[in-house]
Structure 1
Amino acid sequence: MVSIIIFLPSIMLSGIMFPIELLPKAFEMVGKIFPVSWGYKVMADSTFQLENLLPLVVILILAICVCGILLRKVDK
């Protein structure tokens, strides 16, 4: 149930179901938070560009740091 609550908005706000330009600017900004939108942009572009991959790498590094901090708190 929780996965649906997270998955569905991320797909709808990322531009996969319909163009992100159709959304209001506020929803467009929220959609850029989800890694799905950046992954879709990497796959949709005809040429590989590092600038499209960089946000995914930053999100990955942040997720690893947050998980590390949370796991340290659980071990204590």
Structure 2
Amino acid sequence: MLKKVEIYEIFLKSLEDNDFVGADMMRKYLQMGFTRSRRYANYKGGKKYNKEHDYKKLERGGGSKKKSEKCRYIFQKMTSGRRA
């Protein structure tokens, strides 16, 4: 499994090589990591729906505001000023 820094390096290398398809894929992987980390920050255990009760949406919360801000900061830092 690649770490976010490795994915970001591949993203930058793809842009340098004018490989916009590769850069777009890496951007999407970075965004998927961001959305997954936001899910864990917003919902305890990362579970948004309750399987046992007709998949009703669980109450939001249980996540740390500090973690939430950190994942937002990391994603913005990695994508600021980039167009892909």
TM-score after normalising by structure 2? 0.37
Bigger radius of gyration: 2
Higher strand share: 2
